[in-house]
Chains A and B, each alone.
Chain A
Amino acid sequence: MTRFSAAVHGWLLLLPAMALLVLFTHFPAVATLIDSFYSTPRGRRAAVFIGLDNYQTMVEDPVFWTSLVNSLWFALGTIPLSIALAILTALWVNDRIVGRTLVRMAFFTPTILPMIAVANIWLFFYTPQYGLLEQVLGAFGAPSHNWLGSPSTALICVIVVAIWKEAGFFMIFYLAALQQIPPHLGEAAALEGASRWTFFRRVQFPLLMPTTLFVLVNAVIGAFRTIDHIVVMTRGGPDNATSLLLYHLYQVGFSFWDTGYAAAITAVLLALLAALAFGQYFFLERRVHYR
């Protein structure tokens, strides 16, 4: 095969996938940036160039800021706890505990269920008066509380659901990584008289660093792109207490149909995702290589 025909073959094989990628990833990403400088076309009025007006609207939009802060709290609340739980459960399941398979299955099950379905179940769980949470707390004499209906607790409730959904998924990566750690390391540490905790902190945890990086990247992306549970459980309420950035974008784009402003929010979301990816990559790269 000549170099020329190899090149033609290569590009022909690539063409179908590349065409769809350009149409539904690259083009929309660029179009978002351009559209964010144009007004929203309404009826016969075409979009006109308005410079940074959409971004000005954004800066002055209190719901945007609330959503941004909520998203950060949501990420901060979800990620460390689900990673900690994932490590803990992976350590447990890695040991020869009683009912190991059942335990592993229990933790992993939420991963394969539709978020929309589990959000309905959790909605019921949090229901005032006769939801399970209220019943259990009521049995201990706690006063009734509308968990999803109060701005102070709604976001926490949503975070709990996200942790519950994700931790088991992350667990399997830690489990796989733990099984890769050579057993002689444990034997050597035991000979040195290291405690279980020291062995974990000095040997296992550092060796799990590449997994942690991988899980972290996934968790951050997940925190910014999952809003199924918000749509079901709170619709961003009460008083925007659970409005995440993507949810606000969804509202602006498909409830208010303000596509120009929605493009500006998308641009910010994309910038945020890109910055996080680079930040994580460069910040953690140094710590990941343990050899």
Chain B
Amino acid sequence: MSGPTRIDPYEPRGLGRIAESAGAGLLAFLWVLPLLYALWTAFHPSEFSARFTLDAPLSLENFSRAWAAAPFARYFLNSFLLVSLILVSQFVLCTLAAYAFARYEFPGREVAFMLVLVQLMIMPDVLIVENYRTMSRLGILDSIPAIALPYIASAFGVFLLRQTFKTVPKELDDAARVEGANALQVLLKVYVPLARPVYIAYGLVSVSYHWNNFLWPLIVTNSVESRPLTVGLQVFSSGDQGIDWSVICAATLLTSAPLLLAFLLFQRQFVQSFMRAGIR
């Protein structure tokens, strides 16, 4: 909006800038302190878990002990399958629904859209008792699809994609149809490619949400074969390990590692995705 030479008169300068930087830096340090603390504990032998000396030897032993003490490999696989299943299904279902809302005239469209938006307020997280009963009736308790099902038809995804599809010029749509493309081809060749940044943003948010989701998976799963990482971590850290904080911190970091690394590598992309997904 403004040229690069434009100066914000309220931008602090000199001493003010130093003071503001110091304040921000201090708060930022406090903010990552719990994380640094966990890193310290996880990467040092347990006798150093609360002692901060420079000569403490680094060690990966806590990680190997955590990895050996619980089926984390299986939990990782479960989480990966869960997140992929949800992401792919959400993309397909939300794309179709958003296309219908954006480009079709049909009786009941407004009512249907309102019914979709209801889910923004009444989230699956609150309907745990009834949804558990439904899963039990369907006979799929303790399975990965049971964790995924309530989240697949995401009102948020439908809304976000509908907004995007509405901005696609109608002329592009018409042109493709003149070329002989059918409705589905138009969707795949015109709308989806143009909405790519939105898919990326929504995908990142969805993956983060479901990798981190805990309560519903805790309720519907009951075995190593279906538990995602978050539930596995809780079972592990509240189990009869005794309280060995070093090992628990290592397991905690293992659980967070994929997203944390992805975030550190693609920081800008993450921040922009959360922002784009948030401002609807």
| Chain A interface residues (CB < 8 Å from chain B) | 3, 6-11, 13-14, 16-21, 23-29, 31-32, 35, 89, 92-93, 95-99, 101-118, 120-122, 124-125, 127, 130-132, 135, 164, 168-169, 172-173, 176, 182-183, 186-187, 189-190, 196, 199, 214, 218, 221, 224-225, 227-228, 231-232, 246, 249-250, 253-254, 259, 262-263, 266, 269-270, 273-274, 277
Contact = CB atoms under 8 A, between A and B. Distances in A.
Contact of B17 (A97, A101, A173, A263): A97
6 contacts: A14-B97, A24-B149, A28-B134, A114-B256, A182-B1, A246-B126
A99 B127 CA distance: 44
Interface residues of B, number: 99
B153 A273 contact: no
B275 interface: yes
A228 B216 CA distance: 10
Given A14-B112, A18-B112, A168-B31, A117 B123 contact: no
A110 B212 CA distance: 12
Interface of B: 1-2, 6, 8-12, 17-18, 20-21, 23-25, 27-29, 31-35, 37-38, 41, 49-50, 92-94, 96-97, 99-101, 104-109, 112, 115-116, 118-119, 121-134, 149-150, 152-153, 155, 158, 183, 208, 211-212, 214-215, 218-219, 229-230, 233-234, 237-238, 245, 248-249, 252-253, 255-256, 259-260, 263-264, 267, 270-271, 274-275, 278-279
B76 to A, nearest CB: 13
A99 to B, nearest CB: 6
A186 B1 CA distance: 14
Contact of A176 (B29, B267, B279): B279
Given A89-B27, A95-B20, A117 B134 contact: no
A209 B248 CA distance: 42
B275 A17 contact: no
Nearest to B2: A183
Contacts of B29: 106
A183 B97 contact: no
Nearest to B3: A183
Contacts of B183: 9
Nearest 7 A/B pairs, CB to CB: A10-B104, A28-B130, A190-B9, A10-B106, A20-B153, A106-B28, A13-B100
Contacts of A8: 106
A25 B127 contact: yes
Nearest to A218: B278
B267 to A, nearest CB: 6
A164 B33 CA distance: 11
B24 A92 contact: yes
Given A114-B230, A130-B50, A124 B38 contact: yes
Contacts of A28: 127, 130-131, 134
Contact of A109 (B35, B101, B215): B35
Nearest to A224: B126
B239 to A, nearest CB: 13
Which DSSP category, helix, strand, loop or mixed, fits chain B's interface?
helix
A13 B245 CA distance: 51
A168 B104 CA distance: 39
A14 B101 contact: yes
A79 to B, nearest CB: 16
B259 A112 contact: yes
Given A172-B274, A172-B275, A273-B121, A113 B130 contact: no
A216 B247 CA distance: 38
Contacts of A104: 271
A125 B31 CA distance: 13
B218 A231 contact: yes
Given A95-B20, A109-B31, A232-B234, 15 more contacts: A9-B183, A21-B155, A28-B130, A31-B130, A95-B8, A105-B264, A110-B31, A114-B233, A116-B255, A121-B34, A121-B35, A121-B37, A124-B37, A246-B125, A259-B129
B11 A96 contact: yes
B262 to A, nearest CB: 8
B126 A225 contact: yes
Given A14-B112, A97-B20, A259-B133, A176 B234 contact: no
B197 to A, nearest CB: 15
